Amino acid sequence: MTAQAGKLEMGYGLTWNPNPPVTVPQLVTYAMAAGVYTILAWVSVVSAPIQIPGVGALFIAMGFGVPFTLWFGGWGLVIGFIGTSIGAGILTGLPLPIALAFGVGDVILFGSLLVLYRGLARRFGVDPLGRDVYTGKGFLFFFLVAGNIPHILGGIYGIIVLYNVGFIPPDAIPVAFAGLWLGNVIVVTIISSIVLRLLSPVVERLGLTSYGWVT
């Protein structure tokens, strides 16, 4: 095995900046991803509104946010923060502080996703970019680590925000939490798995993936 291949096979992890610099094509890709996420976040909220302001029945954007994070590392957190703050917050008429608080929710969600997936993938022998999502072991890992745990954490944070700004009464907390969590589980299980299976090899071969948080 050659020196370069050996370095690549060290693989995806949680080091800060192992593969500098960030290139112009990478920055353009991140900007486009942020644009896509913003539009999808806005569409998710306005196309299927529920009684809670800034929240839609199914947050379709999450289906793309998960692959963005697995591919782009910490940039996925930035994409999630921008997309949700603007798309699900400012563009739907929420005040700026609440919109930013919504954005922080995605940082928590995608941050926990990145730490768990990158941290555990090698240990469980699954692909860190989710190319094996349609194998038995790959799907189980993906379903638990990408489809559930981060959304429980994100859901808890989201409910705290919604309750504190007065968008939901105390007796609606369990239902709202279940709605946020299960909605994301459905979207991620269907959309993210397809996106990862189809596009992970292409994104990687184009040199757009991050091996650590930044590069």
Binding site for other proteins (CB under 8 A): 1-5, 7-9, 18-20, 23-26, 198, 201-202, 204-207, 209
Alpha carbons 48 and 75: distance in angstroms, whole number: 28
Alpha helices in the chain (DSSP H): 3-10, 24-47, 62-72, 74-83, 96-124, 136-141, 149-164, 173-187, 193-205
Please state the closest distance from residue 4 (CB atom) to other proteins, in A.
Answer: 5
User: How far is it, in rounded angstroms, from Cα 55 to Cα 154?
Assistant: 13
Q: Nearer Cβ to other proteins, position 82 or 129?
A: 129
**Which residue, 192 or 200, has its beta carbon nearer to other proteins?**
200
The C-alpha atoms of residue 59 and residue 186 are separated, in whole angstroms, by 10
CB of 53 to other proteins, least distance (A): 36
Nearer to other proteins, 12 or 42 (CB): 12
Q: Which is nearer to other proteins, 167 or 211 (CB)?
A: 211
Beta carbon of residue 177, minimum distance to other proteins (angstroms, whole number): 39
